[in-house]
Structure 1
Amino acid sequence: MIVKNAKLLDGRIVNIKIDGERISCIGQCEGDEEEIDAEYKLVLPPYFNMHFHLDSAFTNVSNKSGTLWEGIRIWQEVKNKLTEEEVIRNALTAVKLMVAQGTLWIRTHVDVTEKSLKLLKAIKKVKEMVRDIAEVQITAFPQDGIFTDKGNDELLRKAIEEGADNVGLIPHNELTREDGVKSVKFAFDLAKEYNRDVDGHIDETDDPNSRFLEVVVKETLDNNWHGKVTAGHVTAMHSWDPAYRYRILPQVAKAGITVIPNPLINAVLQGRLEGYPKRRGNAPIKEMIKFNVNVALGHDCIMDPWYPLGSGNMLHVLFMSIHLDQLTGEEELKWSINLITFNAAKAWRTEYGIEMGKEANLLVTDMDDVVDLIRFMEPPKFVIRKGKVIAKDGKYILFNGKWENVKRKPQ
C-alpha cells in the first residue's frame, strides 16, 4: 500500500509506503501497490484511550445526584445483574466505536470486587475477539476498595493471576486514610510480585485533603517502578493549595508517573456538592506540563452510571480538555494532540509514530491541520492498522474478515 500526498504533523508532504505490517519508505515513494490519496490532508498516528470502563459501557442507568458516589452505589447493584453475554455485547460495541474513530489502544478498568469475576472473564474474551483491530490492556480494578470488604484483596490477586495486565487501586474510596495508604502499598507489592504496571484511580474527589498521589510517588520511587505507573483522574489536584502542587508535581515527574485526566466525566461529576463557582473537575494540565509531568487522556465512560453520554471519540475528550484548561494558544493547540498520541504511547511503552521500519498504524483524515482536526472532531477517512485498512469514515469496520456498519448502541 502507498498513502500518497500525506501531510504529516511536522508539515511535510510525503508518500508513505507500506510493506506487510511496516512502513518501508517515507518521501518520494513509488510502486504498483494499492493507493490511498490523502489529498494533502493530515495523516497522523492513531489515538490512545488511556482510561476506560468497558465492563460498564452502555448500562445506561440514571444517576439522579450526578455524583461519583451515587454512581458507585448504582453500579454495585447493576454489576450483579449483568450477564457475561451482556458485558461482551456492550464492550464489543464500544471497542468498534472507538476503533472506527481512530483509537487503536484501549486501557480498560474492570471491576474485580464482583466476586465471581464474570466481568473480568467477559472483558478477557473481548480482548481476544478484537485483537485484529485494537490492543486492549486490562486493569484489575477494585471498585469498592481493596480493604473495604473482606476478601477484596484476594480477588485482586486472583484477577492478576487470571491474566489482568495491570494492578488497580482506589485509595480515596477506602474507609480511612490509613487503609488508603495500606491499599497503595498492597498494590505495589502485587505489581512487583507479578511484574505488572500500577494503574490507579487516585484522588478522584473535590476534597483537598485527599493526597494519595504523594503516597503513589513514594511507592514508585521506593520500588524503582519508574515509568510503570499511571494515576487516573487526580481531580483533587484542582483543590490543592498551589504551594502543595509546587512541591509534589516535580516528584511526580521524577517518579515517571503519567497522570490521566478524564475531562468528559469529571466535568460532570465534580463540584456537585457546591454552589457557584463550581470547580472544573480536571487536573491542571498546563501546570503539570510546566513541571514535566507526562499527561495523557482517558474517555472513561460511555452511557453508564457515571456518564449519560459518550461516543468513544478521543477528539471529544481532547476538545473538552482544551476548554477546561484553556489550552487555546496557537502552539498549545498544536501541541495538545500529544495528549492522545505520543504522551500516551510513552506511558504504554509501545513502538509508535510514522517512521521508517515502524508498524504501519495511520489515520488518514480530511483535515488540513491539528486545529481543524480538533475543531470538527470528525472520524478519519481511513484507519490503518498494521498495514491494513480496518475502518472507513467512522461508519464501517472490518471485523472477523467482513465489513460491517458501526453501531452507535448495542442491538
Structure 2
Amino acid sequence: THIDVTDPNFTALKAMLEMKEDLKHIVDIQIVAFPQQGMYTYKGGLELVEEALKMGADIVGGIPHYEPAREFGDKSVHDIVKLALKYDKLIDVHCDETDDTHSRFVELLNALVLMEDYGTRTTASHTCSFGSADNSYAFRMLDLFQKSKMNFSSCPTENAYLQGRQDTYPKRRGLTRVKELIEYGINVAFAQDSINDPWYPMGNGNMMNILDNGIHLAQIMSAKDVESNFDLITYNGARCLNIQDSYGLEVGRAANFIVLNETTVYEAIRKRVDVLASVRNGEYLFKRKEVEYEVELGL
C-alpha cells in the first residue's frame, strides 16, 4: 500500500503501521513511503520520505514525472535508489504514468538499479508513456530491462481509465507494453491501483476482474498466453513483492492460497469465477457456503 508521507505528522503512516501489526495474522502488508506530489514540490520532501523509512515503511516510493522540472525528476530517482541502498529497502516507483512520450524516467531508474545490481528489488509501476514510445526507443529499452531484471507492474483498469484523456482519436489504451515485456522474459504483473478513490471510482480488489481487463487491453489471449495468464496476478506479483522464495504451493512453504470455482485456467478466466475459499497458514479465512435452492416447475 502506498502511504502519502507529505504530512509532517505522518498521520496516515502511523495508522497503517498500527494496522499492519494488528492484521498480520490475516494479511502481509508492505508499506511504500510515497511522496504523493513529488519530493521536490515543497520544502523537506526528501527528508519526510527518509523519516518514513526510519519509522518502518518497507519500500521507497516516488513519482518523478510529478516533479516541477525534469532535473528534479532525475534527482528524485537518484535519491530513491540511494535511500533504498542506505536502508536496505525495496523500490516501487510510480514511473511515467503519463501520456507524455518525453517522460522517460524509467530509463534512468533502470540504469541506476542495473549499476547497483538492484533490479530484482525494484518495481517500475505503470510506465504508461513507454506504451506510447516509438519502437526504436522501446526495443532498445527492452534489451536494457532484460539486463537489469527490474520488475514492472501494470494497472489495467486504472491506466485505461486515466490515460488518453487529451487524445481525440485514435485514443491510446494507456497501458505499458505488457506483451513485449512478457516476450522478452521481463517480469510484469497486473495490479489493482485504486479502489473507489479520487483516481478510480470503481474497483473492489477482485484480481480476476483485473486479469480479465488486462489480457483484453494487452491482447494476450492466445491458447499459449492463457495457460500462463494467471502468473500475471500470482507468481509475477510475488516477484514484485520480493516474496518469491516463500510463495506458492510447495512442500515446506506456508499454506497460503485461494480456491477458485473451476477446474481449468481457461474456464476460470473466461467466467471470472468466484473464490470458494481463502486459506492462510493452513486455516480458513473464509469458506463460501454452497447455494441451495428449490424451483417449482409447475408441471
TM range (shorter): over 0.9
- 1:71-111 deviation digits (Å, cap 9, x = unpaired): xxxxxxxxxxxxxxxxxxxxxxxxxxxxxxxxxxxxx1111
Shift of 1:115: 2.4
Is 2:88 the partner of 1:195? yes
Query: In 2, Cα distance between the equivalents of 1:376 and 1:110?
Result: 34
1:259 aligns to what SS in structure 2? Answer: strand
1:126-145 correspondence runs (5 A):
126-145=19-38
Assess, with a 3 A threshold, how the Cα gap between structure 1 residues 394 and 244 changes in structure 2: closer, same or farther.
Answer: farther
Structure 1 residue corresponding to 2:281, chosen from 364, 383, 386 = 386
1:296 aligns to what SS in structure 2? Answer: strand
Query: In 2, Cα distance between the equivalents of 1:165 and 1:352?
Result: 18
Structure 1 or 2: more strand by fraction: 1
Structure 2 residue corresponding to 1:158, chosen from 51, 66, 71 = 51
Shift of 1:239: 1.0
Sequence identity percentage: 40
Contact residue 152 and residue 240 of structure 2 kept, 8 A: no
Higher deviation after alignment, 261-270 or 250-259: 250-259
Name the counterpart of 2:234: 341
Query: In 2, Cα distance between the equivalents of 1:276 and 1:114?
Result: 40
Q: Structure 2 counterpart of 1:266, which letter?
A: N
Is 2:267 the partner of 1:367? no
Contact residue 119 and residue 151 of structure 2 kept, 8 A: no
Unaligned runs of 5+ in 1: 1-107, 396-411
TM-score normalised over the length of structure 1? 0.68
Query: In 2, Cα distance between the equivalents of 1:331 and 1:283?
Result: 21
Structure 1 or 2: more helix by fraction: 2
Structure 2 residue corresponding to 1:212, chosen from 82, 93, 105 = 105
Query: In 2, Cα distance between the equivalents of 1:224 and 1:370?
Result: 35
Shift of 1:394: 9.5
Contact residue 302 and residue 312 of structure 1 kept, 8 A: yes
Is 2:272 the partner of 1:377? yes
Is 2:182 the partner of 1:289? yes
2:212 aligns to what SS in structure 1? Answer: helix
Shift of 1:124: 1.2
TM-score normalised over the length of structure 2? 0.93
Query: In 1, Cα distance between the equivalents of 2:219 and 2:83?
Result: 39
1:373 aligns to what SS in structure 2? Answer: helix
Assess, with a 3 A threshold, how the Cα gap between structure 1 residues 146 and 263 changes in structure 2: closer, same or farther.
Answer: same
Assess, with a 3 A threshold, how the Cα gap between structure 1 residues 375 and 201 changes in structure 2: closer, same or farther.
Answer: same
1:382 aligns to what SS in structure 2? Answer: strand
- 1:207-246 deviation digits (Å, cap 9, x = unpaired): 1100000100111022221311001000001110011010
Contact residue 110 and residue 119 of structure 2 kept, 8 A: no
Higher deviation after alignment, 235-244 or 222-231: 222-231
Structure 1 residue corresponding to 2:63, chosen from 142, 155, 170 = 170
Query: In 1, Cα distance between the equivalents of 2:269 and 2:40?
Result: 42
Structure 2 residue corresponding to 1:179, chosen from 57, 69, 72 = 72
Structure 2 residue corresponding to 1:272, chosen from 144, 165, 168 = 165
Contact residue 253 and residue 294 of structure 1 kept, 8 A: no
Structure 1 residue corresponding to 2:208, chosen from 299, 302, 315 = 315
Query: In 2, Cα distance between the equivalents of 1:394 and 1:375?
Result: 23
Query: In 1, Cα distance between the equivalents of 2:219 and 2:273?
Result: 21
Q: Structure 2 counterpart of 1:208, which letter?
A: T
1:328 aligns to what SS in structure 2? Answer: coil
Query: In 1, Cα distance between the equivalents of 2:254 and 2:247?
Result: 7
Structure 2 residue corresponding to 1:225, chosen from 118, 136, 146 = 118
Query: In 1, Cα distance between the equivalents of 2:158 and 2:242?
Result: 26
- 1:127-152 deviation digits (Å, cap 9, x = unpaired): 12221111110000011101111111
